Amino acid sequence: MLIELQDVKKTFDEGESATHALRGISLSINKGEFVAIMGASGSGKSTLLHILSFLSRPTSGRHFFDGKDVSNFSLMDLANLRNKSVGFVFQSFNLLARATVLENVELPMLYANIRPKERRQRALIVIERLGLGHRTKHLSNQLSGGEKQRVAIARALVNQPEVIFADEPTGNLDSSSGEQLMGVLEELHGEGKTIVLITHETYTAAFAERIIHIKDGLIEADTVVEERYSIKDHKFIK
């Protein structure tokens, strides 16, 4: 078991009124799983993702990652986990606009204290793999949406994390780029990476092996997908 949440609650205190974003979530995700988290906006799915990806800490409950209880980790330890163990793909890409593709992909390694030479080599390998070799020296704001998101995936992969968290990754892409992107995620899953995908599109969720539905801060349903869609094979597979 890679990730486990036990009765995790998250409350936001904003002045007088407290918002209960998560009201007791327990779940576990195995290594190599491809999980989609679905829910309407305001359901708490983003908050759940933030906790799973160490961006924020639960108000109560326990959070285990790779056998370690990370609920009480310091901010510094969490930063370290984000750096080494997880990769992010955001809906709005979040690339450094005035930096080149190479610099963007190198960014996580900057905080992992990897030597410049090795940084460059590793970055070039992932960039090449995602088919962006010809874009290495381009500024990220000169790229198309699909290319930007592939840079983001390269950045997420470069520190060889256990889990990739993708928060509505196709939200800002046209359908063909979106499809291409899901193909990349599928491929990564095929290589054994754990993938946690947040989406509200049934179509996108159909790539996952398992779908967790969130509603009002609670798990509404946790189902294993019988037939998932494969980009590679262009059909639903069991």
Partner 1 sequence: MGFFDLIKTSLASLNANRSRSVLTILGIVIGVAAIMLVMSLGAGAQNLILQQLQAIGSKTIAIIPGREPKGPTDFLSAFSDSLKESDLKQLKNPANVPHAARVIPMVFGSEVVSYKNDTYQTTIFGFTEHYAPLYDLYPREGQNFTADDVESSSSVIVIGSKVKEELFGNNEAVGEKLRIKDTTLRVVGVLPKKGGASFINFDNAILIPYTTAQNYIFGIKYFNRIIVETDEEINVPVTEIDIISTLRNAHNITDPDKDDFFLETQAGAMETVSAITSVMTLFVAAVAAISLLVGGVGIMNIMLVSVTERTREIGLRKAVGATDRDITTLGGALGIIISTLLGLIISVVLSKALNATWTYTFPVVAMIIGLFVAAGIGIIFGLYPARRAARLDPVEALRYE
Q: Does 113 bind partner 1 (CB under 8 A)?
A: yes
Q: Name the residue nearer to partner 1 (CB basis): 40 or 96.
A: 96
Q: Does 230 bind partner 1 (CB under 8 A)?
A: no
Tell me how crowded residue 139 is: count the other CB atoms within 10 A of its CB: 16
Task: Check: CB of residue 200 under 8 Å from CB of residue 41.
Answer: yes
CB of 110 to partner 1, least distance (A): 5
What span, in angstroms and rounded, lies between the C-alpha atoms of 26 and 237?
A: 29
Q: Name the residue nearer to partner 1 (CB basis): 79 or 125.
A: 79
Measured at the CA of 32, the angle between CA 57 and CA 171, to 5 degrees, comes to 65
Binding test (CB under 8 A) with partner 1, winner from 27, 55, 124, 218: 55
Binding mask 76-95 for partner 1 (x = CB under 8 A): x--xx-xxx---x-x---x-
Measured at the CA of 25, the angle between CA 183 and CA 61, to 5 degrees, comes to 120
Q: Does 139 bind partner 1 (CB under 8 A)?
A: no
What span, in angstroms and rounded, lies between the C-alpha atoms of 149 and 19?
A: 32
Q: List residues binding partner 1 (CB under 8 A).
A: 50, 55-56, 75-76, 79-80, 82-84, 88, 90, 94, 96, 98-99, 107-108, 110-113, 116, 155, 159
